[in-house]
Amino acid sequence: MRVIGAGFGRTGTLSLKGALERLGFAPCYHMVEVLTHPADIYRWLDIAEGRSRDFDAVLGGYEATVDWPAASYWRELAAYYPGAKMVLTVRDPEQWYESMVATILKRVDPPRTPVRRLATAVSRWRRSDLDAFNRMADRAVTGRSFHGSMHGRDRLIRAFNDHIDEVREAIPAERLLVYEVSEGWEPLCRFLGVPVPQEPFPRLNDRENFGQISQAFWRRAVWHRSERMAG
């Protein structure tokens, strides 16, 4: 592990993943890995529920990590991988909140349609991947990054700003890059000590793509029950 992303989701983390992999820090872990590798849900659930602190079990083989759920464990990961550099992705808090409302918060709210309510009930009964994912996200993301609740504009923005302050205070300046993906290649490459590519910086994970990824996961995970069950 050479780079640890400490920034919240919706701060350009998928674009950063693409950039890091282009720079040779590949593969880079991201929530997308959780959505496409069901066994990882249970590994993170083990960590979130206190059964494990073996981060290599889920991050072994990766050169970098960004986004949740790993970003919720930035303190632990900074100590676990002491040679890794830290990148804290930031953006305007109001824009971050609006992006959260348009994407992640739609998935956090209780299901409103009869089909979604039924699917949620079935996933709990079957203890499917969706049920495990919801439990993992509740503990690892909502619990750790937002003190148990993702409701309330002011509350979320305060948590966002507090997180930035905490990372800045805890990580030595020479180990930390506070970074907006809109800054492009130069500050990232300078911090990592690598050449600047002669190509555009990746721009990934717009709201439409987020919906497609999460919908595909939801449709599969409602019914699927991983062979690797936690607890």
Among the ranges given (52-56, 126-130, 206-210), the one the predictor scored with the smallest mean pLDDT: 206-210
CA distances from 54 to 7, 59, 130, 193, 219 (A): 21, 9, 23, 29, 30
Is residue 230 a part of any domain in this protein?
Answer: no
CATH, residue 216: 3.40.50.300
State the virtual CA torsion across 62, 67, 69, 70 in degrees, nearest 10. Answer: 50
CA atoms in the 13 A half-sphere facing the CB of 6: 28
Smallest Cα–Cα separation from 130: which of 23, 42, 203, 63? 42
Is residue 229 a part of any domain in this protein?
Answer: no
Domain of 73 in residue numbering reads as 3-221
List, for residues 128-187, the tens digit of each pLDDT value: 788 899 999 999 999 999 999 999 999 999 999 999 999 999 999 999 999 999 999 999
Mean pLDDT across 63-87: 98
pTM: 0.89
Mean pLDDT across 71-93: 98
How many domains does the chain fold into? 1
List, for residues 9-20, the tens digit of each pLDDT value: 999 999 999 999
Is residue 96 a part of any domain in this protein?
Answer: yes
Mean pLDDT across 182-209: 91
Query: Quick one: pLDDT at residue 12?
Result: 95
